[in-house]
């Protein structure tokens, strides 16, 4: 779970006419830089998986100039079983394990990156940080 959204961009009409889409299973073995793991985690045949949108997660992108939306998908194999290395399925499995123990996890995420450029003068406005490309993020 590298914190990078992986998926497809589709015109609204195409999204609405399809109930599932396909992605290669290897998408879950990519690093944040787009490289692949050296360890064999998946079937070397790199089969396609089915992705089905969870419409409860559909959200409009308020920053987009043209109307756009995003949706989170659940991932399945052709036989209907969940893709066990899908980050969303991993989380569901963890939550089920807690539930089986009659426990509820408490999470406190820690940001490991800067949301704004370092600013030592509180009278100055906040600015986007400089990215790895050397250019200021927008």
Determine phi and psi for 49, rounding to 5 degrees. -115, 160
So where are the chain's domains?
A: 12-100
Q: What is the pTM of this model?
A: 0.68
Q: Using DSSP bridges, classify how beta strands 59-60 and 73-76 pair: parallel, antiparallel or unpaired.
A: unpaired
Q: Which residues of 63-79 are buried (b: 16+ CB within 10 A; e: fewer)?
A: eeeeeeeeebbbbbeee
Please report, in tens digits, the pLDDT of each residue of the chain (138 residues total): 466 777 888 898 998 898 889 998 888 888 777 777 777 767 666 789 999 999 999 999 998 899 999 999 999 999 999 999 898 999 999 999 999 999 999 988 877 766 788 888 889 888 887 777 777 766
Two structure tokens written together for 65: 């100039």
CATH level 3 topology of 12-100: Ubiquitin-like (UB roll) (3.10.20)
């Amino acid at each position: 779970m590298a914190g990078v959204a992986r998926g497809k961009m589709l015109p609204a009409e195409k999204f609405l006419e399809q109930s599932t889409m396909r992605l290669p299973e290897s998408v879950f073995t990519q690093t944040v830089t787009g490289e692949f793991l050296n360890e064999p985690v998946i079937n070397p045949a790199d089969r396609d998986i089915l992705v089905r949108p969870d419409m409860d997660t559909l959200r409009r992108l308020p920053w987009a100039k043209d109307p756009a939306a995003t949706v989170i998908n659940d991932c399945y194999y052709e036989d209907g079983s969940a893709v066990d290395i899908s980050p969303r399925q991993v989380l569901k499995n963890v939550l089920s394990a807690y539930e089986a123990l009659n426990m509820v996890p408490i999470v406190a995420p820690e940001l490991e990156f800067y949301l704004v450029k370092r600013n030592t003068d509180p009278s100055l406005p906040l600015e986007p940080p400089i990215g790895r490309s050397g250019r200021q993020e927008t």
